[in-house]
Structure 1
């Protein structure tokens, strides 16, 4: 009987345990759904995340960034315009078979008459309203070839524009429309711009249908030069904000909505003209003076120093035993220029202008050109490893420099050669010692007598009885030549020898 009771109790206990296991552990769980709401729930973190900024710097939220971009687009877009230019181009065409007029073989084979036709060419660009009177800042290349210029505002109003002035050297232009209720852009200070800052580009890429496109990026670099062939004054802001054809002349603004640049150019790989993340804008501080001069005077008035300059690279710095790679090396001084009157010499390195450190030749060029004509500026130059302080009274940049340079002769002389003074840079380039004296041959007329015995890189140390140290010495010796032949002392690397040249009649 006891065994039966024990079996029954054991069975009951076993059933209870089985039921408990089945209901608790084997019962299927409901699907767990995570809801992402606008307000995130506070979460405890076991390990604090690493920070790239100091604890004293407040990191703005994504919502704050979003609101900033929306506000900038809303406030700046009315200041940006779409510019369409139109030009009539004459083309040779055949009245019988249009499209085959340029094929000379086709024309001759069928004995077809010649004729001229016309077609309209249009170009697209952007601009920025800078004054309530209707002045618009844009790029020179946007309007320079246009015979008719149309401006469309954000509210779809259209106006004909007139060109107030252009400046190809900076690729800037000012046009004007007669319109009311315009909203000018707020001009910022591009000198205060820092690499890494957020910027927005606004313009009309590719098509009028894409007018007022807004793209965002950062300032990738500052002071970029040698970007546009033929442009003399460059100090571009580089950005990765998307800039495409049609954006030229549009606005580049900072996170405060201030205009800090005029979008101008893009870098391409040759296969596509679209954005590759490398765009360039003219700093607004450079554009301000150009714009003011064009509006008030109809042309740009620039200050002038009167020198030819080049960069100080590592090899040049080592050859001149310089501690710095900044500054601008003087390769040429123009006669009767402000630089000559101030005592600037070939081989000097300008490291400071008006209290500002000179980074490179482009930087010096912009510092000088933006200065007031007639003002006396302080210079610091390195000459013979020592710093010297000079004062220069800036002149006005002439339309064309007719005076001869004291350090180069760019025309072929009667001997059929071109020469330059032996600067430290040229000495290093051609393998000479900086202590060598004379003028160096840079080009030779192939048809001249000199081509038979001279080479580019030869140093002319004496002509006839006159020792040659400068371009002036060289010119004087050439002018004094008489007779059929002239004796010239030449240094070629480590060799020095005389050559006899026949003097052309």
Structure 2
């Protein structure tokens, strides 16, 4: 049995992730996961982002091993050797098999510790009754325990009862630049055989998109082909180091084309979430911070998030925010739209103080809000 924190306030129906095009990979009612998104206007009924879960089944426990990260060098980025990158990562990439009440679904995961921890997307395992993983060189799946899930950040921590595994190496976040060559590896479409490898570049950094449980921020945008089944798989640099976890591809609900627009959760977001998932799995609790506003995108094309309603006596109200304020910065980070503000609040806890810069009648001011717990509805 799994305990869940209260879910965030859902977005309005004009902003949806369409998964009706997910391909059935096997005749045995298997399906592969993909998060498909439309980025447009959103009204959020209060800023709260993540939904958390931890298993209360007998636990394998979390690893005590540190996550392996690379140290940035000043050397020029080497020319990409896709075959070499694939050879490096293949032992550390697994197929995630989620057994559902109506069939089976698959995604991708990466080994993050030699004693059995595996990271994948939360949406790959959230509805699973049981989970197993397949290593590339194995004949049979291995049972896996879901230790903890963070729906807001779309990451989940699993563990298998194995040792001697080869963990991935996470890149230094400061080494990631727009235009870098990258490779995506995963079990696209749940095709038979080994993983699928595709090549592209880093198209943009620090993107923010919506998900079914709030907003994902700090994303890497890439033109690397990412398909159903790639969810939870790695985006890699020329050295075979993980720079992101593939999570979404853009799909318009209209006839507007959106080719090769994929998103990966950056290592800058992944590493602190791993630490939080380990803590959650070990019995720690987490309560979301609450600001107490609704936010909208500007309708004039400008940057910033417009404050709609402000709940009476909420942190936003006590900080002096009023309807019509345009939030342009949160704790020093630019707020280009409502999603960025949602994401800025999401990972904070009650008691945290956040500096919010707003425009009011064309005058800039900085307001300080101390977050609280979300009131019981």
Given the two structures, how large is their TM-score scaled by the length of structure 1? 0.53
- 1: CA distance between counterparts of 2:278 and 2:143? 18
- Cα RMSD of the aligned pairs, angstroms, is 3.0
Partner of 2:297: 311
Pick closer, same or farther for the CA change 1:210–1:247 going to 2, 3 Å.
farther
> More helix by proportion, 1 or 2?
1
Segment drifting more, 363-372 vs 376-385: 363-372
1:126 to 90, 104, 108: 108
Query: Which of residues 257, 263, 269 is equivalent to 1:286?
Result: 269
Q: Distance in 1 between matches of 2:286 and 2:237?
A: 27
1:445-456 to structure 2, matched below 5 A, reads: none
Q: Which of 241, 254, 267 is the equivalent residue of 2:224?
A: 241
> Which residue is 2:123 aligned to?
141
- Deviation of 1:85 after TM superposition, in Å, equals 2.1
Q: Determine if the alignment matches structure 1 residue 83 to structure 2 residue 111.
A: no
Count the aligned residue pairs: 295
Cα deviation, 1:155-202, whole Å, max 9, x if unaligned, reads 327420011122333332221111101222222355764332211111
1:185 is aligned to 168
- Tell me which residue corresponds to 2:331: 354
Q: Tell me what 2:55 maps to.
A: none
1:368 to 321, 345, 352: 345
The alpha-carbon deviation at position 402 of structure 1 amounts to: 3.8
**1:268-316 Cα shifts (integer Å, max 9, x gaps):** 579xxxx95232222233333333323212465433322211222426x
Q: 2:288 aligns with which of 273, 295, 302?
A: 302
Spell out, residue by residue over 1:196-223, the C-alpha distance to the aligned partner (whole angstroms, 9 max, x if none).
2211111111235233322111122344
Tell me, in whole angstroms, the C-alpha distance in 2 between the residues paired with 1:215 and 1:59: 22
Is structure 2 residue 358 aligned with structure 1 residue 345? no
SS class of match (1:126): strand
Tell me how far apart the structure 2 counterparts of residues 192 and 350 of structure 1 sit (CA, whole Å). 30
Encode CA deviations 1:319-365: one digit per residue, 9 max, x unaligned.
Answer: xxxxxx22221112223322122111111112222222222222222
2:215 is paired with a residue of what secondary structure? Answer: coil
Separation in 2, partners of 1:262, 1:160? 22
Residue 429 of structure 1 is matched in structure 2 by none
Name the SS of the counterpart of 1:367 in structure 2. Answer: helix
Structure 2 residue aligned with 1:205: 188
Pick aligned residue for 2:200 from 217, 233, 240: 217
* Cα distance change on mapping 1:373 and 1:70 into 2, 3 Å: farther
Cα contact 2:316–2:369 (8 A) shared by 1: yes
Gap change, CA 1:326 and 1:140, over 3 Å in 2: same
Equivalent-residue separation in structure 2 for 1:232 and 1:306 (angstroms): 15
**Equivalent-residue separation in structure 2 for 1:183 and 1:266 (angstroms):** 28
Q: 1:88 and 1:144 mapped to 2: Cα distance?
A: 12
Change (3 A) 1:212 1:247: same
1:160 maps onto 2:174 in alignment? no
Q: Could you report, residue by residue, the CA deviation over 1:46-94 in whole angstroms, capped at 9, with x for unpaired residues?
A: xxxxxxxxxxxx998xxx5244x344323222221111222353xxxxx
| Corresponding residue for residue 65 of structure 1 | 79
Distance verdict in 2 for CA 1:346–1:267, change over 3 Å? closer
Choose 1 or 2 for highest CA Rg: 1
Contact kept? 2:325, 2:359, Cα under 8 Å? yes
CA–CA distance in 1 between the matches of 2:251 and 2:331? 37
Alignment partner of 2:360 out of 374, 383, 387? 383
Is the CA contact (8 Å cut-off) linking 1:327 and 1:359 kept in structure 2? yes
Match of 2:133 in 1: 151
Aligned partner of residue 206 in structure 1, secondary structure: helix
Q: Which runs of 5+ in 1 are unaligned?
A: 1-57, 90-120, 316-324, 404-505
| Distance of aligned partners of 1:88 and 1:234 in 2 relative to their CA distance in 1, 3 Å threshold | closer
Instruction: Looking at secondary structure, tell me which structure has more strand per residue.
Output: 2
Take 1:132 and 1:199, find their aligned partners in 2: how far apart are those partners? Answer: 25
Cα 1:301–1:130 change in 2 (3 A) is farther
Structure 2 residue matching 1:65: 3-state secondary structure:
coil
Aligned equivalent of 1:416: none
Could you tell me which runs of 5 or more consecutive residues in structure 2 were left unpaired when the two chains were aligned. Answer: 1-74
- Name the CA distance, whole Å, in 1 between partners of 2:172 and 2:286: 21
Structure with bigger RCO (C-alpha 8 Å, 6+ apart): 2
Distance 1:371 1:333 in 2: 19
Matched-pair contact (CA < 8 Å) for 1:190–1:261: no
1:277 to 257, 260, 263: 260
Is 1:329 aligned with 2:315? no
